[in-house]
Structure 1
């Protein structure tokens, strides 16, 4: 099969399209013929070597964790799926098993013609006919994250929120949910992104370096390292909430505000729902690439300002 591989730690420019044996499913696993997969930060960060001490990779490594496709084989003990079923979902590289949740789906990597997944998790589900393969491939990680943010932050009608990094996959999925909840949103983005962000639900769009409005009820950080949120914290009213999806794990001393609820939102166990619930969301897909252009897609994602999701069609 054709697959994108990293043969050593390095940047996405060093990845290559090559031939690998088709992975076969073991007990409790399914093999999927991949139709589409989307790009996520982990596809670049993990092969970069940042986490090699905690989760060393075995090379060649196939990146990719979000996908849509067709079940092409089932392992022993799998009753929920049959060959020919249309599925979509999210999985993590097997090297990250120790860092994953209680019942994750592990994968051989979705930037390939075929991949194998653990079947018995909420992170894989049948793809509804109304959800296209491209949208289904774009949704899993950002949808899980957006739902976890909404469930944890519990935004209420009439509240004000600051969304930092609203143009990414999570931000463009989250903005409509905040709008539906009746929240007045100030979003950070590039000037060219303003029409899209307003369409998605932002009331005000400011530049990344602009002064933040003050007295926000809620802050949602989607991009900055957690130890760089002092300016964001200063924009939150006394007793407000500040949530982040980035590392390092937050500590009160990072923001010098003991009165704020300051937390990392990371749902590794599907506590707020799995793919069946994510299917109801709508992603923003701004570019598609063929598998032969996947290295370029990953390079673009790493080096350029990208909006929404980039999807690889296989």
Structure 2
């Protein structure tokens, strides 16, 4: 099978199209013929030399931790799925490939009307936003600040906050993405000096919770604006968060959490913008785009 893999840590160009053996589904696993795979900052960190806790990387290593495709093999003991089922799901590595195996409790059925590009880029940012907003206790009547609101995770977070009853959602983004944020129901503000003051002008009664997917400047502004630090989280500035006394995002991705997100999508409460879909052979270009920052929506790979 073809896969985008790397045999040394480094910049995006270490990702190369490689021929590898097709994996076989083991006990409790399904094998998926992958149609699309999302590209996340997580994948770029792995390619650059970071090893996720509890894992051992072996070259050639295949990145990718969200995917969609068709089940083509069932491992022993798998129930509730059939060969030919269209699914989306999550793992930690191995998604940038024509075939992958994954535990059957990490996939859910894909809605028939969900495009493959959306399905492949749905699980990672969707579950990340879900975990973070649950930790923040976002709910009815809240004023919520989301930094990096036009990106893959921010897009989910804005819409989830609205779906869960937030009164006001304020989103930081580059000016070119402001109209897009308005279409999602957020009030946009620009990055840069004076950010906290611009947010105060929109929410003079204060901000109840903040989620940072932009970086240190955004996290510092959040501390200025939110009285209760337990209602601030970051997805990017982990060292600074520890210095400031901001709790980490905790929890795990689950099929149940993913199924809830899929239901919201089916109900029309989640709309996902695909920034660009690259062919597998251009995985390095996809990584460059994700690492450029300030993009709108999701970047995905098309495997076939």
* TM-score of the two chains, using structure 1 as the length reference: 0.83
Structure 1 residues 303, 150: CA separation in 2 closer, same or farther (over 3 Å shift)?
closer
1:210-244, CA deviations, whole angstroms, 9 ceiling, x for partnerless residues? 4213432211112325x983332012236772122
- State the aligned residue count: 288
Q: Which 10-residue stretch deviates more, 186-195 or 297-306?
A: 297-306
2:214 paired with 1:230: no
Spell out structure 1 runs of 4+ moving beyond 6 A. Answer: none
Instruction: Tell me, in whole angstroms, the C-alpha distance in 1 between the residues paired with 2:235 and 2:281.
Output: 31
| 1:303 Cα offset (Å) | 3.0
Structure 1 residues 203, 79: CA separation in 2 closer, same or farther (over 3 Å shift)?
same
2:211 paired with 1:220: yes
Alignment of 1:232-251 (within 5 A): 232-237=222-227, 241-246=231-236, 247-248=238-239, 250-251=241-242
Q: Which 10-residue stretch deviates more, 156-165 or 134-143?
A: 156-165
Q: Give the structure 2 partner of residue 18 of structure 1.
A: 18
Gaps of 5+ in 2: 201-205
| 1:139 Cα offset (Å) | 0.9
Among 150, 154, 158, the residue aligned to 2:137: 154
3-state SS in 2 of match to 1:216: coil
Structure with the higher helix share, 1 or 2: 2
Q: Give the structure 1 partner of residue 99 of structure 2.
A: 114
Among 129, 137, 153, the residue aligned to 1:170: 153
Q: Give the structure 2 partner of residue 293 of structure 1.
A: 282
What is the RMSD computed on CA atoms of the aligned residues? 2.4
Alignment of 1:1-314 (within 5 A): 1-51=1-51, 55-93=55-93, 109-119=94-104, 121=105, 123-180=106-163, 181-212=165-196, 213-214=199-200, 215-224=206-215, 229-237=219-227, 241-246=231-236, 247-248=238-239, 250-251=241-242, 254-255=243-244, 262-268=246-252, 270=254, 273-279=256-262, 280-281=264-265, 282=270, 283-314=272-303
Structure with the higher strand share, 1 or 2: 1
Instruction: Tell me, in whole angstroms, the C-alpha distance in 2 between the residues paired with 1:232 and 1:4.
Output: 38
* Contact 1:249–1:264, Cα closer than 8 Å, also in 2: no
| 1:69 Cα offset (Å) | 0.4
Instruction: Tell me, in whole angstroms, the C-alpha distance in 2 between the residues paired with 1:91 and 1:238.
Output: 33
3-state SS in 2 of match to 1:268: coil
Q: Give the structure 2 partner of residue 105 of structure 1.
A: none
Structure 1 residues 304, 244: CA separation in 2 closer, same or farther (over 3 Å shift)?
closer
Gaps of 5+ in 1: 94-108, 257-261
Q: Give the structure 1 partner of residue 203 of structure 2.
A: none
Structure 1 residues 210, 290: CA separation in 2 closer, same or farther (over 3 Å shift)?
farther
